[in-house]
Amino acid sequence: MKIMKPLGPRILVEEIEPIDDVTAAYKKAGLSAVVLEVNKPLPTSGKVIAVGTDPELQEHVREGDIVIFSKHSGSNVIIEGRPLRCLEFHEIITVTREEAKPSSAS
Protein backbone atom coordinates (compact mmCIF):
# COMPACT_ATOMS: atom_id res chain seq x y z
CA MET A 1 0.00 0.00 0.00
CA LYS A 2 1.21 3.49 -0.81
CA ILE A 3 1.91 6.01 1.94
CA MET A 4 -0.67 8.81 1.92
CA LYS A 5 0.20 12.14 3.54
CA PRO A 6 -2.29 15.01 3.23
CA LEU A 7 -0.64 18.40 2.83
CA GLY A 8 -1.14 21.22 5.32
CA PRO A 9 -3.89 21.17 7.96
CA ARG A 10 -5.82 18.20 6.52
CA ILE A 11 -6.61 14.64 7.59
CA LEU A 12 -7.88 11.58 5.73
CA VAL A 13 -10.73 9.80 7.49
CA GLU A 14 -12.38 6.44 6.94
CA GLU A 15 -16.05 7.12 7.66
CA ILE A 16 -17.93 5.18 10.31
CA GLU A 17 -21.42 4.38 9.07
CA PRO A 18 -24.07 5.83 11.38
CA ILE A 19 -26.73 3.61 12.91
CA ASP A 20 -30.13 4.25 11.38
CA ASP A 21 -32.64 4.24 14.29
CA VAL A 22 -35.54 2.96 12.17
CA THR A 23 -33.57 0.09 10.66
CA ALA A 24 -32.09 -0.79 14.07
CA ALA A 25 -35.59 -0.92 15.62
CA TYR A 26 -36.84 -3.15 12.80
CA LYS A 27 -33.89 -5.53 13.22
CA LYS A 28 -34.45 -5.67 16.97
CA ALA A 29 -38.09 -6.65 16.33
CA GLY A 30 -36.99 -9.33 13.85
CA LEU A 31 -38.34 -7.42 10.86
CA SER A 32 -36.65 -6.05 7.76
CA ALA A 33 -37.05 -2.70 6.06
CA VAL A 34 -35.95 -1.25 2.75
CA VAL A 35 -34.46 2.22 3.24
CA LEU A 36 -33.64 4.30 0.20
CA GLU A 37 -30.06 5.57 0.00
CA VAL A 38 -31.25 9.21 0.11
CA ASN A 39 -33.01 8.54 3.42
CA LYS A 40 -29.97 7.09 5.18
CA PRO A 41 -28.17 9.40 7.60
CA LEU A 42 -24.82 10.78 6.44
CA PRO A 43 -21.68 9.84 8.39
CA THR A 44 -20.52 12.32 11.04
CA SER A 45 -17.60 10.38 12.49
CA GLY A 46 -14.59 8.54 11.21
CA LYS A 47 -11.24 6.96 11.99
CA VAL A 48 -8.16 9.02 11.10
CA ILE A 49 -5.91 7.13 8.70
CA ALA A 50 -3.50 9.94 7.74
CA VAL A 51 -2.55 13.30 9.29
CA GLY A 52 -1.29 16.29 7.30
CA THR A 53 1.97 18.20 7.66
CA ASP A 54 0.68 21.08 9.82
CA PRO A 55 2.47 21.04 13.24
CA GLU A 56 -0.57 22.32 15.17
CA LEU A 57 -2.78 19.63 13.61
CA GLN A 58 -0.22 16.94 14.48
CA GLU A 59 -0.28 18.15 18.08
CA HIS A 60 -4.03 17.48 18.40
CA VAL A 61 -4.82 14.60 16.01
CA ARG A 62 -3.10 11.22 15.55
CA GLU A 63 -3.67 8.27 13.25
CA GLY A 64 -6.24 5.93 14.80
CA ASP A 65 -8.17 8.73 16.54
CA ILE A 66 -11.93 8.96 16.05
CA VAL A 67 -13.09 12.41 14.94
CA ILE A 68 -16.55 13.98 14.86
CA PHE A 69 -17.43 16.37 12.03
CA SER A 70 -20.46 17.96 10.36
CA LYS A 71 -22.24 15.74 7.82
CA HIS A 72 -21.40 18.07 4.92
CA SER A 73 -17.75 18.74 5.90
CA GLY A 74 -14.75 17.91 3.79
CA SER A 75 -14.36 16.33 0.39
CA ASN A 76 -15.26 12.76 -0.48
CA VAL A 77 -12.42 11.00 -2.28
CA ILE A 78 -11.73 7.45 -3.42
CA ILE A 79 -8.14 6.29 -3.00
CA GLU A 80 -7.19 2.77 -4.12
CA GLY A 81 -10.89 1.85 -4.14
CA ARG A 82 -11.46 3.04 -0.56
CA PRO A 83 -14.03 5.80 0.02
CA LEU A 84 -12.41 8.39 2.30
CA ARG A 85 -13.16 11.91 3.46
CA CYS A 86 -10.53 14.64 3.44
CA LEU A 87 -11.18 17.14 6.26
CA GLU A 88 -9.49 20.40 7.12
CA PHE A 89 -8.44 21.10 10.71
CA HIS A 90 -11.20 23.68 11.29
CA GLU A 91 -13.88 21.13 10.27
CA ILE A 92 -13.03 18.76 13.14
CA ILE A 93 -15.47 19.17 16.05
CA THR A 94 -14.14 16.56 18.50
CA VAL A 95 -11.22 14.14 18.75
CA THR A 96 -11.60 10.89 20.70
CA ARG A 97 -8.80 8.49 21.54
CA GLU A 98 -8.15 5.65 23.95
CA GLU A 99 -6.20 6.76 27.00
CA ALA A 100 -2.91 5.03 27.58
CA LYS A 101 -3.26 2.72 30.54
CA PRO A 102 -0.85 3.63 33.34
CA SER A 103 1.79 1.01 33.92
CA SER A 104 1.82 -0.54 37.36
CA ALA A 105 5.46 0.08 38.27
CA SER A 106 6.52 -1.26 41.64
- Domain positions in the chain: 10-96
Say if residues 50 and 12 touch (Cβ distance below 8 Å). yes
Read off the pLDDT of residues 19-33 as tens digits, 9 standing for 90 and up. Answer: 777 777 888 888 877
With a cut of 70, say whether residue 97 has pLDDT above it.
yes
Read off the pLDDT of residues 46-96 as tens digits, 9 standing for 90 and up. Answer: 999 999 999 999 999 999 999 999 999 999 999 889 999 999 999 999 999
Q: What pLDDT was estimated at residue 106?
A: 52
Q: What pLDDT was estimated at residue 104?
A: 66
Among residues 58, 61, 79, the alpha carbon closest in space to that of 1 is found at 79
> Which top CATH class is 10-96?
mainly beta
